[in-house]
Amino acid sequence: MKHPLEKTLNDILVHVDLIGSRAARQIAQNPQLLGLVKKAIRQTTALDDDVTEEYDMGRGIGYDFVVPTTDRDTILYAKPTRDNYFTRFVKNGKPLPTQHLSIVLRRDGDAYELLDAWIGHVSPPRPGTEEENAESRPYWENHAVVITSHALQLHTLTKICPY
């Protein structure tokens, strides 16, 4: 079921599937995200079919779990639960305080659907996914997700880069 959220700066309604979408999972894990997303949508002028935007919210809003890595970091690769693609994780990393919020919208008829939202910066798609682009591998060779309470498919855990 689609739940109306807010209208963009150019008066286009944005809705979200609060049950089955990636955005729903993010909001369930971090309820303050819903209010932040509404504020960001009000600042958005959506013109393209697919919109990925990053917003500086002007104050600390949480932590970014995608962090730069060095040769001294312990890196692991695994597929998160309910995911078909490997993610690069850093075992000894710490999330960084941030004031940035990122959202992903897709045109849905005369409206937009919120597909994803998270606290932190926009990053290129992970290598190995259908969305992979020229920026993916260089970025993810030097960044990783801080491994905290992520549910992982343990049989996929490896120290060897799978891509």
pLDDT in tens, 20-57: 898 998 999 899 999 999 999 999 998 999 999 999 99
Q: At what angle do helices 22-29 and 33-42 cross, to 10 degrees?
A: 120
| Predicted pLDDT at 73 | 96
| Predicted pLDDT at 20 | 87
Below-70 pLDDT ranges, the chain:
none
Beta 96-98 vs 13-17: how paired, if at all? Answer: unpaired
Closest to 86 measured CA to CA, from 95, 75, 77: 77
Radius of gyration of the chain (CA): 16
Task: Assess contact for 14 and 48: CB atoms under 8 A.
Answer: no
Measured between alpha carbons, how far is 68 from 66 in angstroms, rounded to an integer? Answer: 7
| pTM score, whole prediction | 0.88
| Predicted pLDDT at 23 | 94
| Predicted pLDDT at 113 | 97
Beta-carbon contacts of 152 under 8 Å, excluding residues fewer than 6 positions away, are: 78, 79, 80, 81
| Predicted pLDDT at 29 | 87
